[in-house]
Chain A
Amino acid sequence: MAITRRQFVTRLGTLAAAMGLGQADVAKIAEVFAHASTAAWHQKPSVVWVHGAECTGCSTSLLSFFESATADSVYGSGISTLAALDLMTGGDGDGSSVLNGGEQAGHPYGHRTIQNSAADTGSNFDQKKNATNGVYIANIADVLIDFISLEYHETVNGMAGDLAYQWLKDRITYGGSAPFVMVVEGAVQRKGEGGAWGDTTNVPAGTLTVPSWCSIGINEGATEDHDFGAVVTGLANRADCIGVVSIGQCAAFGGYPACESPVFAADPAMVKTDGTVRQTPARGVYDHLEKFGAAGSKDKVVNVPGCPTNPWWFVLTVVAFLVDFVNKNATPTGGPLGILDTTGAIKGTAVDATRRLKAVYGVPLHNGFCPRYQDHVKGINALKPGDAGCLQLIGCRGISTMSLCGVRGWNGQQPANDASWDYGIRAVNGIRGGNCIQAGHPCMGCTEKGYPDSMVPFVNRF
């Protein structure tokens, strides 16, 4: 159910306190939400999603986004996704602008999605299917149609060829009609740098005398390309780029494209001047912008790592980010969630040392939510794959991994998979969905910086 504005404000205040805003002025927040319609975004936030050295796994994962809209939008906050979306799109946090066809001036097509009537003949097939469960559903169609304006995403957008090339070029050169969030999927390989093989041909981005490591478009006359390194820098440097979200291990930290063969590392001929033996100059977005971006561009980066990233982590990071951006003047120090300051910049208190939101990545996997935690407590250990017991001895990285995989699992989120269904090895704390440990596989630490090289071998086979 939608919460009242008062409940919402109270929970927001509690959360603000929990997130380090000890002196958060709840009255001030309340005042802002009392005038929510003037403070709200009033149009769908624009998202420009670019793919670099990636596998599209994170996009594929996100396509399966599905959750109860009344569940917490930010872990432990008591703020539902419904309330957050309502707030973000011009409502006052009670859900009314989201539910039942509420329409906002900034949304020419209205909101259609999160309804709860079995009689609806609309296209929320999840809702119709699950109407008897009495829950509000948010799925990826809701996100795409109602809550963001996904202006560029190679894997779903209608554009192709020269049109797409030109669109992206114009966006880098001129910007759009509204501020945008850039999402980066995949590591960044700058054209002018070489890899471990000594291919250090220093050519300017854009020309085609030699290919980019990663080119995401070539103009119709085949005279210039979009080197991915230049695209990321070009978009992030723009003043109207309000945030850079690195989805997945590769965009966040370099991930697989940046990992190094142990054999090559022992071969002096392979070692680059920077001391790495990376096949290509692949690195994470933050590192790329730190070296090559304009001043301040790296500070826009928030990381949502995972391999792939769980759709829920991504959506709740973005929602929290946007709620704060819309209401960045809610408190003297910035947005109500304590993520952004009054200028819209990310606050150091909101993210950890690897720029992950603490609200999303603040919980270690190794706790009571791990499906095999009780085995750990009792000292029961698996000695080979297929065994019951804690997986630590065969390589589990859960102890040093911050992840909500145990709190809410992967897939299996629909209400039909209710808590009584033993989805995994056993029902633990009513969690839905699976994770690596539920499949009997050790946690591989995919949300942590350093993965995969510092996490191998993934399984100790006996």
Chain B
Amino acid sequence: MAIKELDPISRIEGHLGADLDVNGGLVDACKMHGNLFRGFENFLIGREPNDAITFTQRICGVCPVPHGLASTHAVEAAMGYSGTAQFQTPSMTGNLGLGVPDKAIHIRNLVLGAEFLMSSMTHFYHLAAPSYIQGPSIPPWTPHFHADYYHPALQGSGKGVAGATVAVPAPYNAHGILPADDKGFSKDVWSAVIKQYVKALRIRRLTFEAGALFAGRMPMTSCFVAGGTSNLKSELLTAKCSKFSEFMKEIGDFVVKEYIPVVLALGYLYRDFDNKHNTDGKGWGAGCTNFLSWGGFQKVGPAAANGVSSNHFVRGYVFNAGGYYGATTSGTITAADVQNHLTEDTKYSWYAQDASFGYDAATGVSKPYTVSRTKPSRSKAGAYSYLKAPRFKGQPCEVGPLARLVVQGLYAIDKDAPASLVDSGGNALQQLAFNVYAKVHANTGTGLNPNAIEADLAVALVRAGLAELWLYENLNGVVGALPNAVKYYKVVTGSAIGAQTGDDLANAITLGIDNAALTNAVIGLAYGLPSAVIKGAITNWIVGLKLGLSTMDRIRARALESLLLLTWMYGTPNTSVAITWNTAGTWLTALPAVVGVNTYRYVASPTPESPGIGAVEAPRGALMHICTIKDKKIERYQCIVPTTWNASPKSNDGKHGPMEQAVAPVNLTGPQITKTAYAAHGGDLYKLPNRNVKTTTGGGVEALRIAQSFDPCIACAVH
């Protein structure tokens, strides 16, 4: 037994470390520790309730919007905007005497939606991806892990190029251009991905520019106020929504053509981390298999804010997803459930008391809305983190994009076999994936749609000899022998273009095929098969996965969720020729049509003042603020934050948190990293073959990747 420390876990928000108990090359146990305490809950006491909206946004500068929104709901509830205990403040329409103006709810949704898109893209490209893709050979991307940790195609040395060596992994040559061929394509997979990294910097900025149309500025919005938003009530919204849509068009095209395909490719290249591609069916990094979502993105209208259908993301939980640890159970969550079943333990946290919320240590009985002051105690024996340990019905729960999709019923989990996902109708995400990535060819049936995948990446994958596997393996069982690139072209166009042996791509280029045709050649798979069959294959490729709980599933869920969100906010993509977006019925269409001009409604604080809950979905998962007011000032304030769920220490009864379970195979019957899987890789997490971890990487790359897949945010988690 030897404790190895992995700290800092970088490229996340905040200060997180992992205490790894390494035994025989395996991580037998993992303790995650948050390393920063600031004390938000305490210094909010005695302040004006409305100020909490600004204060709590400073809990986290990466996801301030959901904090502002949860706080707004909590404060509004305590002020009496919501009537009885609610998760969110309802819209005025249909809720007589309650709620805030419809226009404010639309604006809140759009600002939060912009934040989601920003967060997802930043997480993948700028935080997680450098753990899989060797960066350019200049700081801040160096020093990096030992090169052997990266898939050959994603090493800057250009190993992925068939028969070629690109000597200099410089990000740009003297003319500012990544290595490219005479057709303008990136010369290798690495270049194509680095190009996306840079491009994503622009795309994420556009999400901020969109959100700032209403928020004033991003990050740290200024438009939220208890009672609505502060936006000028007489403002004409048509122009702003039109500008917002313009941003969404570019962002959406990027999500469809680049973000989702590169995420799918990454899962293929790092199959140990992906259930889908893992030979023993157990990808690394599955967690506790319990999922929770508070629901988010309110619908406008008469539905009560407690109603399951009052949000676009539904409220609910799924325990034992996949059935590894027992029968799967699931359900909705009511306000009473929050009072009776939500606890936050602090036995293993550096705080004086052993429970801080909803739990009476003396009687063992949950007590609704009892919030203790969070008194730090750094010398407490046994404690190892500044995070607390929230539990629902006594269970640790994973929250975040994967949890939302699982709770929503959009992410299929089947531990034994590929899920059967042939169009059953009514499954929004799978139907959406099919509509985007499949194309019906008049003569040859249905295949992948070349318009939906950026040629640059696809061509690079073909060059590296990877696209065929990447695309084909995912469709295995549906088609027969693997055609080469030129055959694809031939099938699509019906024309022969020359020899089909050797470097067919080179031949194709020699023959003068233009970029568009080349794209077709590379990814325009078309088979004379019934569309239902290919539809099943494509939806299976994109969303239907064998397990759906691994490291890559979290990354993939984040990308797919971005697409889902875009369909609500902006439009549904149609890729029959180029990407067009059908914007009917979206939030951006609805906002300018909102009846009534107010953005704000005043309600005096009632006496006596009731405790208020504000629960929303943040990019990283379920977020709840709880506020009690006395004499018009904050009496108690409590935040139960997504990463507090995910990176939590042990609960009072000794149950490890989701991230701890994902890193360590504490239960080898579950979908964690198996001993077999480790043995196949040299048997030592720290000494994988040819990987001198100690001196070149700092250790625990696998643990690092698993932790990063949760997109942890420790400023949030501790606050």
Contacts and interface: CB of A to CB of B under 8 A. Distances in A.
B15 A55 contact: no
B715 interface: yes
A409 B170 CA distance: 35
B198 A141 contact: yes
A63 B201 contact: yes
Contacts of B464: none
B442 interface: no
B230 A214 contact: no
Contacts of A425: 232, 235
B8 A217 contact: yes
Contacts of A55: 13, 58-62, 64, 715
Contacts of A422: 239
A323 to B, nearest CB: 21
B698 A220 contact: yes
B8 A164 contact: yes
Interface string A111-153: 1110100001111111001000000000111001100011111
A290 interface: no
Interface stretch (A5-13, A194-202, A291-299, A324-332): A194-202
Task: Indicate the member of B19, B60, B140, B598 with the most A CB atoms within 10 Å.
Answer: B140
Nearest to A162: B698
Contacts, number: 397
B10 A412 contact: no
A334 interface: no
Task: Indicate the member of B47, B234, B598 with the most A CB atoms within 10 Å.
Answer: B47
A248 to B, nearest CB: 9
B599 A112 contact: no
Contact of B209 (A123, A259, A412): A412
Given A63-B204, A162-B694, A456 B51 contact: yes
Interface string A158-196: 111111111100000000000000000000000000011
Nearest to A220: B5
Interface residues of B, number: 123
Classify the interface of chain B: helix, strand, loop or mixed.
loop
Contact of B201 (A139, A308, A458): A139
Contact of A56 (B8, B14, B37, B704): B14
B386 to A, nearest CB: 8
Interface in B28-74: 33, 35-40, 42-48, 50-51, 54-55, 58-62, 64
A68 interface: no
Contact of A122 (B176, B232, B386): B176
Contact size range, A: 35 or more
A422 B217 CA distance: 15
A263 interface: yes
B174 interface: yes
Interface string A438-458: 111100100000001000111
Interface in B167-221: 170-178, 180, 184, 194-195, 198-199, 201-202, 204-205, 208-209, 211-221
Contacts of A257: 38-39
Interface of A: 51-61, 63-64, 66, 100-101, 103, 108-113, 115, 120-126, 129, 139-141, 144-145, 149-167, 195-197, 199, 201, 209-222, 225, 255-257, 259-264, 279-280, 282, 307-308, 384-388, 409-414, 416-417, 421-425, 433-441, 444, 452, 456-459, 461-462
- What 3 pairs across the A-B complex have the smallest Cβ distances? A57-B61, A439-B216, A279-B39
5 contacts: A120-B175, A163-B697, A166-B698, A218-B5, A440-B599
Interface of B: 3-15, 17, 19, 33, 35-40, 42-48, 50-51, 54-55, 58-62, 64, 122, 126-127, 130-131, 135-136, 138-145, 170-178, 180, 184, 194-195, 198-199, 201-202, 204-205, 208-209, 211-223, 225-235, 239, 243, 246, 350, 352, 375-379, 386, 598-600, 602, 633, 694, 696-700, 704, 715
Given A261-B43, A439-B217, A457-B50, 16 more contacts: A51-B14, A58-B61, A112-B174, A122-B177, A123-B171, A125-B199, A145-B138, A161-B7, A166-B698, A220-B5, A221-B5, A411-B217, A412-B209, A434-B216, A440-B231, A452-B55
